[in-house]
């Protein structure tokens, strides 16, 4: 068997007047992430991890923020398209491990729905998708609630 591992990271500013989408679900919040798409940092980091594992570039290469096609796009579509690229290369996702960094809102109540959403798109079970969250203890731009960050690691396996 051939395995490949990839890591991804994504950052977005937080602003009033935008919806907050994380892990493919809408989360009620005072601020949302600013971006060309729906700015779902978690799905973007997972896309980058998948693409990076196969040296296919990054999310900006495949879905540029200069393209009107991707303006306001649901990031679940970007994850589906990234998964299609992984399949074209003859691989499948084995598991995802991810971490969100934000001060608020608390996302623990939403984690099972995020896991289910991501697992469905990647043809996994929810137990194969880890979504964790942490604060930065009020330090830095995340601590000041100016932005948020997501990290993801993905293991791929060549399909026999």
State the pLDDT at residue 1. 62
In this prediction, residue 141 has a pLDDT band, given cuts at 50, 70 and 90, of very high
Do 92 and 108 touch, CB atoms closer than 8 A?
no
Which pTM was predicted? 0.96
DSSP 102-154: -SSS--GGGHHHHHHHHHHHHT--GGGEEEEEE--TT-HHHHTTSEEEEEEEE
49-98 per-position pLDDT tens digit:
999 999 999 998 988 777 777 787 899 999 999 999 999 999 999 999 99
State the pLDDT at residue 43. 98
Token pair in block for residue 128 = 């194969």
In this prediction, residue 144 has a pLDDT band, given cuts at 50, 70 and 90, of very high
Q: Is 3-158 CATH 3.30.9.10?
A: no
Tell which wins on pLDDT, 63 or 125. 125
* Domain segments of the chain as ranges: 3-158
């Amino acid at each position: 068997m051939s395995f490949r591992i990839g890591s991804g990271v994504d950052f977005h500013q937080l602003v009033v007047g935008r919806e907050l989408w994380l892990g493919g679900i809408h989360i009620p919040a005072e601020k949302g992430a600013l971006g060309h798409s729906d700015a779902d940092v978690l799905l973007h980091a997972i896309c980058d991890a998948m693409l990076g594992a196969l040296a296919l570039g990054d999310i900006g290469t495949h879905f540029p923020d200069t393209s009107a096609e991707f303006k306001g796009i649901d990031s679940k579509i970007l994850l589906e398209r990234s998964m299609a690229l992984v399949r074209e290369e003859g691989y499948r996702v084995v598991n995802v491990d991810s971490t969100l960094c934000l001060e608020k809102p608390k996302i623990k109540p939403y984690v099972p729905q995020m896991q289910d959403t991501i697992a469905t798109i990647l043809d996994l079970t929810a137990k194969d998708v880890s979504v964790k969250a942490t604060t930065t203890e009020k330090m830095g731009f995340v601590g000041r609630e100016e932005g948020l960050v997501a990290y993801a690691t993905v293991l791929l396996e060549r399909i026999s």
